Amino acid sequence: MKPAARNCLCAAISLLPSVILAQPSAPRPVTIDDYFQFREVHDPQLGPDAKWLAYAVTSASLKDDTSKQRIWMVQINAAGMPLADPIALTSEDASSTHPRWSPDGKFMAFLSGRNDGKTQIWLLNRLGGEAEKLTDSAQDVDDFFWSPDGRRLALLLRDPSAEELEDAKEKDKEKDDGDSGKGKKKKADRPWVIDRLQFKEDIHGYLDRRRMHIYVFDLSSKSLTQITGGDFDDSEPAWSPDGKFIAFSSNRSAPDPDANYNVDIWVASADSTDKGAHLTKISSSLGEDHAPTWSPDGKFIAFTTQLDPKLFQYATKHLAIAPASGGDVKVLTASFDRMVTFPHFSPDGNSIYFIADDDGAQNLCRISTSGGEVTRPIGGRLMVNDYSLAKSGEIAAQISKLDRPNEIYFLPASAAAPATPSDPVRITHVNDGILAKLRLPTVEYVHFKSKDGTQVSGYLYKPLDFVPGKRVPTLLRPHGGPVWAWYAEFNFDEQLFAANGYAVLLPNPRGSSGYGEKYCKAIFADWGNKDFQDDMAFVDYAVEQGIADPDKLGVGGWSYGGISTDFIVGQTQRFKAAISGAGEALNVSNYGHDQYQRDYETELGRPWENQALWDKLSPFYKVKNITTPALFMGGEADSNVPIVGGEQLYQALKSLGRTTELIVYPGEFHEFTTPSHIEDRLRRYLAWYGHYVKGEAVPATPPLEPAKPAKSAS
């Protein structure tokens, strides 16, 4: 409250002694509307001197039915405390993403598709002013990376389509002729011509021979030089400290990269004009090697590696190091046996930071370049999603906790050292306002035994106003993946369920990451068996603890969580309601229809050669056992787990006269992005469970909301 307003209020009180000051409203339960009040804070970027922090904030608007991103900046002191209020560097008119400081800290480059154009790189002076458009490629810029001297950028560009090249020529002609181009008839889309083994991918849809390659953009001349090429996709470029070389990851195996997982680390000259004809191969694993990062002296490259290609996603991602000129690869985290991501060398080059997936959490870890003990500069029951490391050793990390969505935290250089870890300081407070209005449930990380004695862990949400000894309606929520986990982070859906009187069970059954490779691969070619036993063990635990009402159980999940739901209701009638999002049914119908042909053949074999196993792992063949009222959902454009699985189970249950419903969301991929669709899905969750689990009189199917106006591209 401003001082002037406070003075007026005091005067009014002196004239009216009977006036009672309004007290702040008491915290209330979470509602669906609150989803759109939260902001997603992400992509922390510390300036080179650690005095400035940039980050992105995503907000979803039901009114406009769009989500947009803005880039913010704040000045901080040596302890990470803000010296002033954050400053918005970009406007709300168009989304801007991927902020990256120039090496001298004077400029901020970012990606934006302003004026309904292609996504390009823009440059903004830290002191203010208008952003300058740097690139003008026919296709979108997917990513970019500053060279150490700040004179060049490494770009990731997909080969342009014929349509993109034609559009670029027409725009150039319109500029020359002074023609706005309005009123021109839109050309019909060309057919897809497909000849690849891997021909489909969610969001991208059908894949042709256009590949992702690395280019170098010179800021002074505005020239663009392609340095890699061929019938391969290149990604994750990283400049050497002297700016002479670029390391990157790519599957360049023969005869067909689509047929295996052999992604390697390569090095190209940053001045190359031969499009990758002369490369140095760094890694040797037949599995996936990713995320190259250079040592400060340029002598070594660290990266993540999977040692057993036959296990693909089930194999642990280790941290490895190799000479930058090629040579023996040393795996540093073999005994650690946890998934490793985002490696970065410490400024002195003696150790490497990385994020580790461990025991239902993600910590920022550190290990010596010679191997040995893993320490945790940021540890505990929390979720480190991303981090930025300054040249002087300070760290800015994107962290979510069970009671707080992602915010940006700061760790001084002294605290980042292994011997002196400490709690990071929170810099941003983007969601403080909405959190102050809400009551959040108690969340516990619990352990229990499965049918065969295996110890399993998971998160237990107790409903608001939970009274010990009084059993409550309970929802089992299997996670996606299957190689993934429930983590110590803020989960809105589970908060909403707890606010509506449910206990919520989030199990990490066998197949989950964070518990070692043996635990992870336990469900290899055996879905819906050991993970089913582990999921049921959590339900048994909640009943034994006097929490779950065994007569009021619901189940539901998304992706592999939907697949698990399909398996569960085909093997037990314990649940009063089920919601399966993006699940599978008749697995063979997904072969050649989704994006996983390579995974299927690696894990299950070809369907015509191993039909018995394919049928065994298809929830569809247990459909006659399903008596649980089942709601199926999915995105109409999902190529990850297509809606066909939900359609098949819905059709079969409808044919059997069972209680079922199918909801298909137009234009949505595997992960939903349209706010009105997200809101609709949440309303249907509560209505279906409320009717069939709680026995409420409200309809299981809520009425359709009025359609939102079509959103324009931005």
pLDDT digits (tens, 9 = 90+) for 394-453: 999 999 999 999 999 999 988 766 655 578 999 999 999 999 999 999 999 999 999 999
Taking only the tens place, the pLDDT of each residue in 20-76 is 344 567 899 999 999 999 999 999 999 999 999 999 999 999 999 999 999 999 999
Determine the pLDDT at residue 170: 81
Side by side, which strands form the sheet with 66-75? 40-46, 52-61, 66-75, 87-88
Taking only the tens place, the pLDDT of each residue in 621-647 is 999 999 999 999 999 999 999 999 999
Determine the pLDDT at residue 5: 35
Side by side, which strands form the sheet with 472-476? 443-449, 455-461, 503-508, 472-476, 548-558, 577-581, 630-635, 660-665
Taking only the tens place, the pLDDT of each residue in 555-567 is 999 999 999 999 9
94: number of Cβ within 10 Å: 16
Peptide bond into 255 cis (omega under 30): yes
Q: Please name which of 44, 65, 61, 55 lies closest in space to residue 87, comparing C-alpha atoms.
A: 55
pLDDT, averaged across the chain:
92
d(CA 591, CA 198): 11
Q: Which two tokens stand for residue 247?
A: 């390391």
Average pLDDT over residues 180-191: 70
Determine the pLDDT at residue 9: 29
- Distance between start and end Cα atoms, the chain: 36
| CA-to-CA separations, 704 to 204, 581, 663, 680, 683, in angstroms, rounded | 30, 19, 11, 8, 10
Burial class (CB in 10 A: 0-12, 13-18, 19+), 263: buried
| CA-to-CA separations, 626 to 501, 575, 669, in angstroms, rounded | 26, 10, 27
d(CA 604, CA 628): 29
Longest dimension (CA), the chain: 89
Average pLDDT over residues 685-695: 98
Determine the pLDDT at residue 176: 65
C-beta of residue 561 within 8 angstroms of C-beta of residue 676: no
Assess whether pLDDT exceeds 90 at residue 305.
yes
Average pLDDT over residues 457-466: 96
Instruction: Name residue, tokens 């992509």.
Output: 43
Side by side, which strands form the sheet with 141-146? 141-146, 152-158, 212-218, 223-226
Mark out the alpha helices in 21-161 (DSSP H runs): none
The three-state secondary structure class of 28 is strand
Average pLDDT over residues 329-350: 97
Assess whether pLDDT exceeds 80 at residue 16.
no
Determine the pLDDT at residue 378: 96
Average pLDDT over residues 672-691: 97
**Predicted TM-score of the model (pTM):** 0.93
Determine the pLDDT at residue 418: 61
Determine the pLDDT at residue 127: 85
d(CA 246, CA 268): 5
Average pLDDT over residues 583-606: 96
Assess whether pLDDT exceeds 70 at residue 330.
yes
Determine the pLDDT at residue 504: 98
C-beta of residue 384 within 8 angstroms of C-beta of residue 362: yes
Burial class (CB in 10 A: 0-12, 13-18, 19+), 587: buried
Determine the pLDDT at residue 250: 98
Determine the pLDDT at residue 713: 39
Determine the pLDDT at residue 183: 58
Per domain, the residue ranges of the chain are 441-692
CATH number of 441-692: 3.40.50.1820
Determine the pLDDT at residue 93: 82
Helix pair angle (560-569, 644-655), 10° resolution: 20
Mark out the alpha helices in 526-605 (DSSP H runs): 530-544, 560-569, 597-603
d(CA 116, CA 112): 10
Determine the pLDDT at residue 115: 77
d(CA 512, CA 360): 9
For the residues of 310-354, what is the DSSP string, one character each? GGGGGS-EEEEEEETTS---EES-TTT-SEEEEEEE-TTSSEEEE
